[in-house]
Amino acid sequence: SHALCWFRRDLRDFDHAALFHALKQSRRVTPVFVFDRALLEPLPRDDRRVAFIWQALAELKASLRAAGSDLLVRVGDPAEAIPALARELDAGAVFANRDYEPQAIARDAAVGRTLAEQGVAWHDCKDQVIFERDEVLSGAGRPYTVFTPYRKAWRQKLDAFQLKSYPVDRYRERLARFTAGPLPTLAELGFDAVDLAALGVRCGMSGGAALFADFIARVGHYKAWRDFPAVKGVSYLSAHLRFGTVSIRELARFAHEEGSEGAEVWLDELIWREFYQQLLWHFPHVAHSSFKPDYAKLPFPNDEAWFAAWCEGRTGYPLVDAAMRQLNRTGYMHNRLRMVAASFLVKDLLIDWRWGERYFAEKLLDFELASNNGGWQWAASTGCDAQPWFRIFNPITQSQKFDPQGRFIRRYVPELAALDDKAIHAPWQAKRLPAGFALGRDYPAPIVDHAAQREKALALFGRRGGAA
């Protein structure tokens, strides 16, 4: 029997559930990938994610070639391309790894239906998480909507089987022997080449492995360092988790077995990722509305000029601006800063969290619908287990606490580099500024007053759903 293995957000050829099951159950397996034209079309020409995916595919293709096989690549609508490939290649089955986003679920259902009409079997496998869908439920059989009990149940359910790698190599000789043409170039796909290396981004399976090795040496410090954006404290693996150039089983197994406090805290972050994935699967309405119905119609004033200032990193709040410039320049933003920037947009600028969510979705290399939505709803207090609405980050104290010497600010807001460690967090409050530096000319004066906006936010949130 001949099967296709359809790669999507799992761009590796080791510890891969769909590839393993396809190889195990078939005599011959052809690896395929489809560039989804409808997903590519709205993206800007210099989209960094497309470049990241392209690099990962190039490496995957080279690795499959080294094993005597290849990667067959099509451009089009996967709902047509996959059944057409199955017909062309006379395949009896298609294997793929599951995706929990509403659009992907609909796409896969459509593909599965068409394949069934052709008499081709559709197999989808759990791969990108340790626990999915309704595998971790409360005692009453309901999905968890609070992280701490979810985390506890997740850890209780964990066993060696869940952490075991899929030994793809055992059946590697069943990969179809064929030669496919080269990958379509980025230019052919309508995109510019992006120099990801210049941005410090390492791509593909080799990039993921290098980052992981680098992090293993630092994991013991994770708890102490992870909140300081100027320090190399986190793993920077998010884009690799997003596109499957690393295996979640390898990562979770390491975190589980390592034993340090840092590794335990890091495992919790991997569990947060799965918490939001299962949440999106159980409550798909969060993709367009608040988790809590009471918060669905908060009357945000949505000032467009303020939104533009936030996007461009010129709000006059140095840490917020540094964060947004990091995002714009590199496609990454440190977790502490995602929380600060998101809170500032919603509770200082009083702008609908969905505007910020959309902006992050455009810019983040690691954009993940479930985590991005979860993070935004957390910051906006509209989500499950969110920051309480009356708790509002002070962007100046966050800056003093998490970037005490202004090292991160200086890196991304160089016009403030000459300010001293005290002044840099709130230049407009400084008694003395460096000679030749003029606030309002060299760097914006703050576009809002935090104390005043805080009161407005409290009033706005206090009125939600008609509550007192």
Exposed e or buried b per residue across 179-210, where buried means at least 16 C-beta atoms within 10 angstroms of its C-beta: ebeebeebeebebeebebeeeebbbbbebbbe
**CB of 6 or CB of 236, closer to ligand FAD:** 236
Q: Which residue is nearest to ligand FAD (CB)?
A: 375
273 is in an annotated binding site: yes
In angstroms, what is the minimal distance from the CB of 398 to ligand FAD? 13
463 is in an annotated binding site: no
Beta pairing, strands 72-76 & 121-125: unpaired
Place of tokens 């080279």: 62
The strand order across the sheet containing 121-125 reads 72-76, 28-36, 2-7, 93-97, 121-125
In angstroms, what is the minimal distance from the CB of 376 to ligand FAD? 5
Backbone angles phi, psi at 61, to 5 degrees: -60, -45
177 is in an annotated binding site: no
407 is in an annotated binding site: no
In angstroms, what is the minimal distance from the CB of 276 to ligand FAD? 5
In angstroms, what is the minimal distance from the CB of 267 to ligand FAD? 9
54 is in an annotated binding site: no
**CB of 84 or CB of 230, closer to ligand FAD:** 230
In angstroms, what is the minimal distance from the CB of 12 to ligand FAD? 16
100 is in an annotated binding site: no
d(CA 175, CA 160): 28
Q: Given the rule CB under 6 A, which residues bind ligand FAD?
A: 226, 234-238, 241-242, 269-270, 272-273, 276, 335, 338-339, 342, 360, 364, 366-368, 371-372, 374-376, 379
269 is in an annotated binding site: yes
**CB of 393 or CB of 461, closer to ligand FAD:** 393
**CB of 226 or CB of 410, closer to ligand FAD:** 226
**CB of 54 or CB of 272, closer to ligand FAD:** 272
Ramachandran quadrant class, 190 (left: phi over 0; alpha: psi -120 to 50; beta: rest) = left
**CB of 334 or CB of 410, closer to ligand FAD:** 334
In angstroms, what is the minimal distance from the CB of 331 to ligand FAD? 11
353 is in an annotated binding site: no
- List alpha helices for 405-462, DSSP H: 407-412, 450-462
**CB of 364 or CB of 392, closer to ligand FAD:** 364
User: What count of other Cβ atoms lies within 10 Å of the Cβ of residue 453?
Assistant: 17
Residue 468, amino acid: A
In angstroms, what is the minimal distance from the CB of 266 to ligand FAD? 6
d(CA 232, CA 68): 39
Beta pairing, strands 72-76 & 93-97: unpaired
- Consecutive H or E run containing 34: strand 28-36
User: What count of other Cβ atoms lies within 10 Å of the Cβ of residue 92?
Assistant: 15
451 neighbors 392 (Cβ within 8 angstroms): no
Q: Which residues pair with 121 in a beta bridge?
A: 93
131 is in an annotated binding site: no
Point out the annotated binding site: 222, 266, 269-276
Point out the annotated binding site for FAD: 222, 266, 269-276
